[in-house]
Structure 1
Amino acid sequence: MLGLLVYLLWRYARLPLWHIAACTLFGYFLASSTVGPHIGRLLAAAVRYLAGVDL
């Protein structure tokens, strides 16, 4: 989900490639920290919520 957001920012908001590299490295190091599982659960809950929203 966050990868899609970074891709869309790169594609349509002209995000520089070095910003993409920084986002990728930050995500990699954050995922391997003790906060990683909590962030994963939070993102999964957000996706479940968005999937259940009737537009």
Structure 2
Amino acid sequence: MAVSISAVVLLAIVVFVLIRGGSVRLSHALACALFGFFLASTGAAPTINHAISSVTGWISSI
């Protein structure tokens, strides 16, 4: 759970910086957020969670 909260905070900071820098419009950020919410309710969500957990485990072992 701590990894997912950290990932959410990191992604929120990235989106905020991109919006402030003019690289991403607010509508683009909202579309990406909605895509993420809909993707989380599909069958691909466990696979994505497992992949992210594997990568973060690999990074923490370095």
Q: Residue 43 of structure 1 is aligned with which of 33, 36, 52?
A: 52
Counterpart position of 1:20? 29
Between Structure 1 and Structure 2, which shows a larger proportion of helix residues?
2
Give the distance between the partners of 1:42 and 1:4, measured in 2 at CA: 17
TM-score, normalised via structure 1 length: 0.72
For the residue of structure 1 that corresponds to 2:42, the secondary structure is: coil
Unaligned runs of 5+ in 2: 1-6
- Count residues in correspondence: 53
Unaligned runs of 5+ in 1: none
Between 1 and 2, higher relative CO (CA 8 Å, sep ≥ 6) is seen in 2
Displacement over 3 Å in runs of 4+: none
State the percentage of identical aligned residues: 28
Give the distance between the partners of 2:9 and 2:26, measured in 1 at CA: 14
